Structure 1
Amino acid sequence: MLKLGLIFVLAVATCVTCDQSHNKAANIINLLSKISKTTAHKRLSLAQDRHWFPHNGSWWPLYVPEWYHPRVSQHFFDPYSFTHILHGFVFYGIFGWWLPKAAGIDKESWIWYEGAFLGLLLEFLWEVAENSELIINLYRRNSGTSELYEGDSWQNIVGDLISSTFGYYVAALSFHYQVPYFVGLWALVSEIGLILYMRDSLLLTVFPLLFPSQRLKDWQAEIVPAEGKIDKQQSQ
């Protein structure tokens, strides 16, 4: 009888232990399930909020005059296309003029083919960087024209690549025909014209990314219509 009693006690204890272990396992499973659902929900929210690179814009018209949301960077060309032409000037200076001299490249076709390709490649890499969350947020925080900037569309990226390549060949032809001052004159007129038109330019686009200025941002935002700005009342 004593042995039977011991066996009965052990059996009950085992059942209780198993039942507790089962409950603990069930609790762990439920906890993991909740964590999984919460994580999935957060990932979905991030995916909805993220500005994917790139998105689809509009095929027509080819050019739009707006420099602010919602049409800027959604078509092939806009006022910022003129700044990408200046990118081409810079790329020619690097790959078409300086690099051949520094590397002793005597190949005549370098300027027109290899140099142009390197310029196009660098412009593409800039487009990738420009459409990253980091740069998009920098534009939003520091530029008075870009509070609602959403990144570039496929169409606008293609347009920027075309504009940069065009600028490269304008510079190459200017140096080829020995009128290099034409590049400087173009750049000067372009920068002044853009500042007068939209209070932004290549210089004013790059400067706030490195040295944020609230005064500059406010000055730029003064001429941006309400549709291109954050509604301060709703955001508060």
Structure 2
Amino acid sequence: MTRQTRAALAAILIFAGAAAILFAMNRPPICTCGEIALWGPVGPTQSQMLADWYSFSHVVHGLIFYALLWLVARRTPVEWRFLLAMLVESSWEILENTPMVIDRYRTATAALGYAGDSIINSLSDIAMMAIGFLAARKLPLWGAILLFIALELIPLVVIRDNLFLNIWMLLAPNDELRTWQSAAALAAWHLAGR
């Protein structure tokens, strides 16, 4: 069995393990609305469907993980660096769906009504990270940097949030920033009929 095959099997096990743990945590497999859709817009189905505006930030995770692991472990085979990135992302998806972090999102950010992710959304987020990691591996440096900038700017313009602001608000909440973000979130929820 080749190193690539072993790494692919290990990645599948990490992915399945994350799904099993999320299921054991009583996370809903799909949206509690009973629907499965490709896209969950800002509002009650966000973080419940296959993808949403925060999927972009998970691609950014992959870009960052590739860069950091290249810097600190470039002699380690890329397959093992990829598996480490999968473990970190899967661990985050599990931690993100604990009551402590869900409550932190509700109190520290503009995440109105956030109830955590469905399992299908969490698995999609892990897959998005993998896409970002693999894109960083294949793209020239300037291409990865442009992709990173685009994936941070587009959600910032559309939903007034991105990975940078998400981390900032979780670690050091800012009332002015929450108010600015909430205006967009409230408008989206109003459009969604809430």
CA deviation profile, 1:174-233 (whole Å, cap 9, x unmatched): 2xxxx211111111111111111000000111101111111111111112246848xxxx
Residue 81 of structure 1 is matched in structure 2 by 55
| Runs of 4+ residues over 4 Å off in structure 1 | none
Residue 67 of structure 1 is matched in structure 2 by 42
Superposition pairs of residues 81-160 of structure 1, within 5 angstroms: 81-95=55-69, 97-101=70-74, 104-105=75-76, 110-111=77-78, 113-144=79-110, 146-160=111-125
Tell me which structure has the larger Cα radius of gyration.
1
User: Which gives a bigger RCO, structure 1 or 2 (Cα 8 Å, sep 6+)?
Assistant: 2
Residue 197 of structure 1 is matched in structure 2 by 158
Superposed CA RMSD in Å reads 1.8
Counterpart of 1:213 (choices 163, 166, 174) is 174
Amino acid at match of 2:48: Q
Superposition pairs of residues 13-32 of structure 1, within 5 angstroms: none
Contact 1:138 1:209 in 2 (8 A): yes
Amino acid at match of 1:67: V
Residue 11 of structure 2 is matched in structure 1 by none
Alignment size in residue pairs: 163
Residue 56 of structure 1 is matched in structure 2 by 29
Residue 6 of structure 1 is matched in structure 2 by none
Equivalent-residue separation in structure 1 for 2:89 and 2:186 (angstroms): 30
Amino acid at match of 2:114: Y
Structure 2: runs of 5+ lacking an equivalent: 1-24
Q: Mean alpha-carbon deviation: is it higher for 187-196 or for 155-164?
A: 187-196
Contact 1:131 1:152 in 2 (8 A): yes
Question: TM-score when scaled to structure 2?
Answer: 0.78
CA deviation profile, 1:121-145 (whole Å, cap 9, x unmatched): 110000111111111111111211x
Equivalent-residue separation in structure 1 for 2:160 and 2:187 (angstroms): 16
Shift of 1:53: 4.6
The percentage of aligned residue pairs carrying the same residue is: 28
Contact 2:55 2:128 in 1 (8 A): yes
Equivalent-residue separation in structure 2 for 1:161 and 1:168 (angstroms): 11
CA deviation profile, 1:42-79 (whole Å, cap 9, x unmatched): xxxxxxxxxx5522224632223x123x1011111111
